[in-house]
């Protein structure tokens, strides 16, 4: 019996839960680790394994992902190819030279993809604790809407400032902290990069590029566990999460913090 879901016309149907789409994952891993004290954080080790490999394992195990592209620093191409080879990951994994900025690195991978690609999932190399169900959920959302990201609500009060002077307070129910993966139809993301290149528009994530194109982006609930390891202090939390994963492969439930749960019902509730 066929299980069918209506999706954009150029994408295939889902049959019995198996995606027939071609979904490429792009992992920008060309950062220089400035906030980590100039240690390339993607190559730092957790339990003896590079953070990059922990991240790649999540995507290599995801049945929706058909290929993975890694953007690496030019000087580290050989090392990262060797790391990937030794990790014995399944699937089609390619390593290409990154650029001076994240935006350049993602674009290098994007332009290397085949035209037959349906969706592109961009994920930070140093977010190794994304849950498989979150990857699936944001891919499914992008299949329907063309553009979707993971995001979590802010539990802190957010101030708009000019240097050290507060200009105003932004209501928390209007704030989402963007996470990855960020997933887009291939043609939408390519147009967004083309427009950004023409206008010299620079930003820090792909959603901003797509928003700049005028395309609406859907937010899928993310998780507090899906941290981006950027500072030395993040490593202690990363070791804790890694130990949790080792003891319980299925992600344990994390109690919701009161302020977040109240906002979540408004932001992520039924439309």
117-141 pLDDT, tens digit per residue, is 999 999 999 999 999 999 999 999 9
196-228 pLDDT, tens digit per residue, is 999 999 999 999 999 999 999 999 999 999 999
pLDDT at 103 over 80: yes
Assign 6 a pLDDT band (cuts: 50, 70, 90).
Answer: very low
Q: Mean pLDDT across the stretch 236-240?
A: 94
Q: Mean pLDDT across the stretch 152-178?
A: 94
Question: Which of 29-38, 120-129, 241-250 has the highest average model confidence (pLDDT)?
Answer: 120-129
Burial letters 82-109, b for 16+ CB under 10 A, else e: ebbeebeeeeebebbbbbeebbbbbbbb
pTM over 0.95: no
Assign 114 a pLDDT band (cuts: 50, 70, 90).
Answer: confident
* Predicted local confidence at residue 115, as pLDDT: 80
Burial of 268 (0-12, 13-18, 19+ CB in 10 A): middle
* Predicted local confidence at residue 261, as pLDDT: 35
All structural domains of the chain: 20-246 (3.90.550.10)
pLDDT at 12 over 90: no
Give me the phi and psi of 30, to 5 degrees please: -105, 10
Residue position matching structure tokens 């879901």: 5
Percent of the chain topping pLDDT 70: 82
- The better pLDDT of the pair 65, 114 is held by 65
Comparing C-alpha atoms, which of 80, 129, 102 is closest to residue 229?
129
Comparing C-alpha atoms, which of 95, 99, 118 is closest to residue 108?
99
Assign 244 a pLDDT band (cuts: 50, 70, 90).
Answer: very high
Please answer whether residues 244 and 238 qualify as being in contact, where contact means their C-beta atoms are separated by less than 8 angstroms.
no
Q: Mean pLDDT across the stretch 135-148?
A: 98
Average pLDDT, the chain: 86
pLDDT at 80 over 60: yes
* Predicted local confidence at residue 40, as pLDDT: 83
* Predicted local confidence at residue 160, as pLDDT: 95
């Amino acid at each position: 019996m066929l299980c069918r879901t209506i999706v954009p016309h150029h994408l295939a149907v889902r049959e019995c839960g198996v995606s027939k789409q071609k979904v490429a994952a792009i992992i920008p891993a060309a950062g220089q680790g400035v906030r980590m004290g100039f240690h390339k954080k993607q190559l730092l080790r957790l339990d003896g394994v590079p953070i990059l490999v922990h991240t790649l394992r999540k995507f290599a195990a995801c049945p929706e992902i058909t290929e993975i592209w890694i953007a690496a620093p030019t000087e580290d191409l050989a090392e990262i190819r060797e790391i990937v080879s030794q990790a014995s990951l399944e699937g089609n994994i390619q390593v290409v030279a990154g650029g001076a900025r994240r935006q350049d690195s993602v674009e290098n991978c994007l332009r290397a993809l085949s035209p037959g690609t349906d969706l592109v999932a961009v994920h930070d190399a140093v977010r190794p604790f994304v849950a498989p169900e979150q990857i699936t959920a944001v891919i499914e959302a992008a299949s329907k809407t063309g553009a979707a990201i993971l995001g979590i609500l802010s539990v802190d009060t957010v101030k708009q400032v000019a240097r050290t002077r507060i200009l105003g307070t932004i209501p928390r129910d209007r704030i989402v902290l963007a996470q990855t993966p960020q997933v887009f139809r291939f043609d939408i993301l390519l147009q967004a990069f083309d427009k950004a290149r023409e206008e010299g528009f620079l930003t820090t994530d792909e959603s901003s590029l797509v928003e700049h194109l005028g395309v609406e982006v859907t937010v899928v609930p993310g998780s507090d566990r899906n941290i981006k390891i950027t500072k030395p202090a993040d490593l202690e939390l990363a070791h804790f999460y890694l130990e949790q994963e080792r003891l319980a492969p299925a992600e344990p439930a994390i109690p919701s913090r009161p302020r977040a749960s109240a906002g979540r019902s408004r932001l992520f509730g039924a439309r």
